[in-house]
Amino acid sequence: MKFNTALLHGDFAGDDKTGATLTPIYQSSAFAHSSAEDLEKIFHNQAPGFSYTRISNPTIDAFEKRMTKLEGGIASIACASGMAALFNAFCNILCAGDEIVTSASLYGGSIDLFRDLEAFGITTHYVANNDLEAFQAATNEHTRLYFAETIGNPRLDVTDIQALSELAHKNNVPLIMDNTVATAYLVRPLEFGADIVVNSTSKYINGNSNGISGVITDGGKFKWDAERYPGMKNFKKFGPFAYIAKLRNGLFRNTGACLSPQNAFYNSIGMETLGLRMERICKNAMELATFLSDTYPDFTVNYPGLASSKWHDIAVKQCGDEFGGIITVRTGSKEKAFAIINALQLPLNISNIGDTKTLVIHPESTLNVHSTEEEKAAAGVFDDLIRISVGIEDIEDLIEDFKQAVDKSANNI
């Protein structure tokens, strides 16, 4: 099945009991069983079934199955947010004394999270994305995972996943990819060798910005060495499902990172149109980026679809001829950036991406408020930069609006 068909048809859709076309919202904290023996079996993973929604729930299960199918993995765990998913994905395999090597081109929240992990004895080394020598140089006997974003938010660099996964495996560590910006519509990191994929499904997967959530999907191929990952020892018996089994029976349930069934339902609805939305979003973004870069030579327009992007070639190799919905523009000054944001009529000034509506933000004064100057520069955040998350509006209206906003900003400064 091709992309859209597979999203619509599978063992996740509908409800056998009633014929409902989507798995209904099981808004129940716990699930009763007729005998103590039955519940014992469920708690011992000896029978399928549900006991408590912090651990699993039929509506959430249906959404997780969709995500597994979407990313081409073997199992998924849905969390309350993208950040909860990242925390759980990392800490499921880390102990005090372990080290992470990551691309420095990251979402601001991830940089903040790595700082929080220092209190637990986990050290993070930042290196330039796609600089394999730098990744290797930062790797030592304590390194336990590599991390990068498929398309960095907001630097818009494109990670060469195949090259990075080969290096990770040479060093016996898994590669965890954040696929939020690209989505599986553009690239499936597991197919390029990544081991675990995390999505902030609050964004393109949900699509309408009506619920926060995040999902961890495991490819099931990484060979966990119990010496290096002592926590995995008791889960070896689950074979390829060891990582997910450990997570669901451990950190995920114990941190209470579960998603609400209601939000899982919204996500299942939203993701049915992921392909359609992405098709339109990518087309709009390409046209808007082209317009901005052709019309305003003083601006630096960054979009992986433009030949001027340093990452255009890797983007073509991994994504084909569509390049996602995020564009950044360096306008020359913070005043100019603010003036344009203030003059735009259609885009919402908002800290979000991946909506049906076009969104803009000045990341330096908002999302990266906790980052050091060095972290900001490495993440591609400058004080004259606007980030645009392109929506599904009619492109003529978007271009018209950007045109009047830039004109107005010229008069105001």
Ligand X SMILES: *Cc1c(COP(=O)(O)O)cnc(C)c1O
- Site residues, ligand X (CB under 6 A): 81-83, 107, 109-110, 149, 153, 178, 180-181, 200, 202-203, 212, 214, 353
Minimum distance from CB of 270 to ligand X (Å)?
13
Minimum distance from CB of 158 to ligand X (Å)?
13
CB closest to ligand X, residue no: 82
Query: Which whole-number Å values give the CA distances from 152 to 156, 231, 315, 379, in the listed order?
Result: 5, 30, 12, 8
Minimum distance from CB of 78 to ligand X (Å)?
11
Measure the CA–CA gap between 68 and 274, rounded to whole angstroms: 15
Minimum distance from CB of 356 to ligand X (Å)?
16
Minimum distance from CB of 230 to ligand X (Å)?
28
Minimum distance from CB of 106 to ligand X (Å)?
8
Minimum distance from CB of 378 to ligand X (Å)?
15
Name which of 176 and 232 has its Cβ closer to ligand X. 176
Minimum distance from CB of 307 to ligand X (Å)?
25
Name which of 111 and 341 has its Cβ closer to ligand X. 111
Name which of 56 and 201 has its Cβ closer to ligand X. 201
Query: Which whole-number Å values give the CA distances from 343 to 105, 148, 287, 346, in the listed order?
Result: 29, 35, 21, 9
Name which of 139 and 270 has its Cβ closer to ligand X. 270
Q: What is the 3-state secondary structure (H, E, C) of the chain?
A: CCHHHHHHCCCCCCCCCCCCCCCCCCCCCECCCCCHHHHHHHHCCCCCCCCECCCCCHHHHHHHHHHHHHHCCCEEEEECCHHHHHHHHHHCCCCCCCEEEEECCCCHHHHHHHHHHHHHCCEEEEECCCCHHHHHHCCCCCEEEEEEECECCCCCCECCHHHHHHHHHHCCCCEEEECCCCHHHHCCHHHHCCCEEEECCCCCCCCCCCCCCEEEEECCCCCCCCCCCHHHHHHHHHHHHHHHHHHHHCHHHHCCCECCHHHHHHHHHHHCCHHHHHHHHHHHHHHHHHHHHHHCCCCEEECCCCCCCCCHHHHHHHHCCCCCCEEEEECCCHHHHHHHHHHCCCCEECCCCCCCCCEEECHHHCCCCCCCHHHHHHCCCCCCEEEEECCCCCHHHHHHHHHHHHHHHHHHC
Name which of 110 and 309 has its Cβ closer to ligand X. 110
Minimum distance from CB of 202 to ligand X (Å)?
4
Name which of 351 and 404 has its Cβ closer to ligand X. 351
How many Cα neighbours within 13 Å face the side chain of 241?
11
Name which of 315 and 405 has its Cβ closer to ligand X. 315
Minimum distance from CB of 203 to ligand X (Å)?
6
Name which of 23 and 110 has its Cβ closer to ligand X. 110
Name which of 138 and 359 has its Cβ closer to ligand X. 359
Name which of 211 and 261 has its Cβ closer to ligand X. 211
Measure the CA–CA gap between 247 and 14, rounded to whole angstroms: 27
